[in-house]
Amino acid sequence: MKKRLLLLILALVVLIGGSSLAYHLLSDQTQTPVVNMRDSETGFLDFAAEDQDGNPTRLSDVITGRPAVVYFWATWCRFCTMGLEELLTLYDIEGERVQFLGLNASHLGLAHGEADAGRAYWVEHGFPFPTLYDVYAEAVQVYDVTGIPFALFIDSGGNIAHRQIGFQNAAAMAELIAELE
């Protein structure tokens, strides 16, 4: 009886592990295809959010005609906070040419009061670029964000040049930024 139970558990582990491996091998989960997401006025799809002080704002209020990196993050996401440190490195190098914007998507973790924790985290770490808070869950819907960290690389014409899912170090992000005009 114990032997059958052990074999059943082993078979389930192999099945689940094999399915997961096959899924990841057959699908590229790190970079989604480039999509021209243009709005007639802004050049990109706009959404409502809140700024650091809780004031309503829109992406179009923050993004100008320069290339931009919009980085979706949450305080409870370890890879997100690691990625913010990588973005800080890039900001020091590319901050004059490229706009950097954080986008707190803490509601994805369904943690009550997480936007307040995000605001405190941002102030505590003194990031030199702004962040918005997706308290209305519009940004993740508009850009079909299925996981974080997630980054949008927007060229100066407002085109989405790259959509990146998952942690990327500064060198990997720098390659994508180099392609932005």
Domain 33-178, CATH among 3.30.2130.10, 3.30.70.270, 3.40.30.10, 3.30.470.10? 3.40.30.10
pLDDT of residue 112: 53
Per-residue burial over 39-55, b = 16 or more CB atoms within 10 Å of its CB, e = otherwise: eeeebbbbbbbbebeee
Residue 174 corresponds to which tokens in the numbers above?
């720098």
Q: Does the pLDDT at position 25 exceed 60?
A: no
CB atoms within 10 A of CB 33: 8
Q: What is the mean pLDDT of residues 95-114?
A: 79
Q: Rounded mean pLDDT of the chain? A: 80
pLDDT of residue 38: 46
What is the percent of the chain where pLDDT is above 70?
74
E-state strands within 51-105: 56-58, 68-73, 99-104
Spans of all domains in the chain: 1-30, 33-178
> What are the C-alpha distances in Å from 145 to residues 16, 18, 97, 125?
25, 26, 26, 25
Split at pLDDT 50, 70, 90, the class of 158 is confident
pLDDT of residue 121: 92
pLDDT of residue 46: 87
The pLDDT tens digits for 8-20 are 665 555 555 444 4
Q: Does the pLDDT at position 6 exceed 70?
A: no
pLDDT of residue 116: 82
Residue 119 corresponds to which tokens in the numbers above?
């605001």
The one-letter amino acid at 104: N
The pLDDT tens digits for 48-101 are 899 999 899 999 898 888 999 999 999 989 999 999 999 999 999 999 999 999
What's the burial of 118, exposed, middle or buried (CB within 10 Å: 0-12/13-18/19+)?
A: buried
